[in-house]
Amino acid sequence: MDLKGSIQDLWKDIYNTGDLHHCFNCSTCLSGCPASYGDPPLLVRNLARMVILGLEEELLNEDTPWACVSCSKCEEMCPMDVKPFEMILAIRQWQSANDETRVPPSIVEIYKRGYTQAVGVNTDLRDSLGLPELKTITNNPELLQMFREMLMKTPVVSANDYMFGG
Amino acid sequence: MELCLFLGCNTPAIRPDVERAIRASMPILGIDLVDADNYVCCPAFGAFPSTDTDSWLATSGWNLSIAEEKGCDIVVQCGSCYSSLRMGREHIMHHPEKQERVNELLEPTGRRVDGRSKVRHVSEVLYKEIGPETIAGQLKKSLKGMNGVVQYPCHTLFPSEVVGFEDSAREPKGMRRLVEALGANVNSYSRELQCCGGAGGFMKSTPEQAIEFAQSKFDAILAETQTDFIAVSCITCLMHMENVQNTLNKRVGEERYKIPIFDYNQLLALCLGFEAKQVASICNVPRDSVLSRIA
Ligand code: SF4
Ligand code: SF4
């Protein structure tokens, strides 16, 4: 492994927890991980190593954290309390902050209508099932505006405000 | 007991019959549901939790504050919503500086959050609060004579310290007891605790492997059980386990994978006497083989 480009304190930017350093590469986190069956596989153990070693270039280019299904099995199994799922989220956050192409499109969707799906607009179907009308922020312009203004004060939304226009 | 119903995105938009089943069945068992009016996305793990803590926890805080205002706990069926809301609540409760920041962000919207409303999964409420015996005592129909298998929502098991309610996350019993309460015989199989694989980016980033992963589970069910159906309690498990069976059939060139999938509350509502056209009308794998036998 080439450690020339490694940044010693990078872990503090990405996942600033002492627990990370207790990782001893045991691989237990891989044993029940669905995404470890992927191609390329999501290998939590390797990601922990990369964060500790400060491999910035490699980490920025890693797509595998986005294959995680959020099942948290790794978190249950890790004997050293590294909280690997939280580490996955932390790596994604760090990537999103440093590379706008990583910003997930779903946050634009949620900013625009409050949800990842068209909630509360399928009124005919809901009627036919005897379901009540839903009070959603999609249908409440004033609240939706407040929600957007709140988000606009948070780091990734404000840094990429051009994505949220209109 | 009153609980605040958090619907999430997929259930009300794509599978509102599951919503109908929950709204129909819970009050009969003593749970009054109040709507989480003007809630927003949980937030999904692939959204704000993947960008920054501020937007993540502000969004969780928005949702939690709705239940806090109503003075009750939240109940949720979707596994991801459950896990996201619970993790958000943990962060807000145990980190004063995060709570302060969230309240600063929420302030202009007229909301506040302190974490006093708990987040509960519908299967936990059914299993621990109501209990299988009470459920069995209310039924008008049953699944007698049928075999089922259960799919535990991963998000309700792990990390057990934060989200768990089973005595052991390695040996969960809730879903099994709940389905048995409806009169069915629950079969065990080797890959019972294997994740459905449907959440997050696994299917999107490596679909081939995600489908093979799911196939290994279905092959185990077919080889090791006599099952007539699969009972789930998560909207992602429900939709993914149906869709993947159809994909697999196209691959193998025969209708090998056709196990009907039900959300638990759908089976429950059916056994409580509600009609399938209201509580179990939307599916991608036909359910008639089961519906015709509920008596
Ligand atoms: S299970 Fe924990 S200690 Fe073991 S390799 Fe994974 S992160 Fe490191
Ligand atoms: S939470 Fe993500 S990394 Fe951990 S086991 Fe599940 S899929 Fe793998």
Per-residue pLDDT of B1-22, as tens digits, reads 999 999 999 999 999 999 999 9
- Closest to A146 (Cβ–Cβ): which among B50, B59, B108? B108
The pLDDT of residue B163: 82
- Closest to A120 (Cβ–Cβ): which among B12, B46, B83? B12
The beta-strand segments (E) located in B119-258 are: 119-121, 147-150, 185-186, 229-232
The pLDDT of residue B200: 85
8 Å CB contact of A155 and B202: no
- Alpha-carbon span B12 to A159, nearest angstrom: 32
Contact (Cβ atoms closer than 8 angstroms) between residue B154 and residue B292:
no
Predicted confidence (pLDDT) per residue in B53-102, tens digit: 999 999 999 999 999 999 999 999 999 999 999 999 999 999 999 999 99
Name the domain count of chain B: 2
The pTM is what? 0.96
Asked if residue A86 has pLDDT above 90, the reply is yes
DSSP state letter for A134: P
Are B150 and B229 in a shared domain? yes
Q: Which chain B residues are within 8 Å of A147, Cβ to Cβ?
A: 40, 62, 109
Q: Which of B121, B147, B173 is the last residue of a domain?
A: B121
The angle subtended at Cα A160 by Cα A154 and Cα A163, nearest 5°, is 115
Asked if residue B251 has pLDDT above 70, the reply is yes
Residue B50 lies in a domain: yes
Average per-residue pLDDT for chain B: 96
Are B262 and B149 in a shared domain? yes
Are B161 and B247 in a shared domain? yes
Contact (Cβ atoms closer than 8 angstroms) between residue B263 and residue B21:
yes
Contact (Cβ atoms closer than 8 angstroms) between residue B155 and residue A70:
yes
Residue B128 lies in a domain: no
8 Å CB contact of A69 and B197: yes
Asked if residue A4 has pLDDT above 90, the reply is no
Ligand nearest to the CA of A27: 1
- For residue B35, the cross-strand partners are B5
Asked if residue A2 has pLDDT above 80, the reply is no
Q: How much distance in Å is there from the Cα of B194 to the middle of ligand 2?
A: 12
Q: List the one residue out of B195, B260, B262 whose CA is nearest residue B231.
A: B262
Asked if residue B192 has pLDDT above 60, the reply is yes
Asked if residue B111 has pLDDT above 60, the reply is yes
CATH number at residue B103: 1.20.1050.140
Residue B127 lies in a domain: no
- Closest to A137 (Cβ–Cβ): which among B40, B44, B53? B40
| Average pLDDT over every residue of B224-230 | 98
Q: How much distance in Å is there from the Cα of B195 to the middle of ligand 1?
A: 20
- Alpha-carbon span B74 to B105, nearest angstrom: 22
Asked if residue A151 has pLDDT above 60, the reply is yes
Nearest protein CA to atom 8 of ligand 1, as residue? A23
Q: List the one residue out of B8, B2, B55, B3 whose CA is nearest residue B238.
A: B8
Ligand 1 atom with least separation from CA of A77? 1
DSSP state letter for A131: P
Contact (Cβ atoms closer than 8 angstroms) between residue A71 and residue B155:
yes
SS3 B111: coil
Q: List the one residue out of B262, B272, B285 whose CA is nearest residue B18.
A: B262
All residues at 6 or more sequence positions from B32 whose CB lies less than 8 Å from its CB, including other chains: B1, B2, B3, B26
Are B108 and B55 in a shared domain? yes
Asked if residue A3 has pLDDT above 80, the reply is no
Rg (alpha carbons) of chain A, rounded to whole number: 20
Residue B126 lies in a domain: no
CATH number at residue B226: 3.40.50.11810
Predicted confidence (pLDDT) per residue in A107-147, tens digit: 999 999 999 998 988 999 999 999 999 999 999 999 999 99
Are B287 and B151 in a shared domain? yes
Are B9 and B113 in a shared domain? yes
Q: List the one residue out of A114, A88, A84, A101 whose CA is nearest residue A156.
A: A101
Asked if residue B209 has pLDDT above 70, the reply is yes
Are B205 and B146 in a shared domain? yes
Are B76 and B12 in a shared domain? yes
Are B98 and B191 in a shared domain? no
Are B248 and B270 in a shared domain? yes
Which residue range(s) make up the domain with B231? Answer: 134-291
Are B176 and B257 in a shared domain? yes
The pLDDT of residue A5: 73
Complex ipTM, two decimals? 0.95
CA distance B56 to chain A (A): 9
**Helix (DSSP H) and strand (DSSP E) numbers for chain A:** 10, 0
Asked if residue B120 has pLDDT above 80, the reply is yes
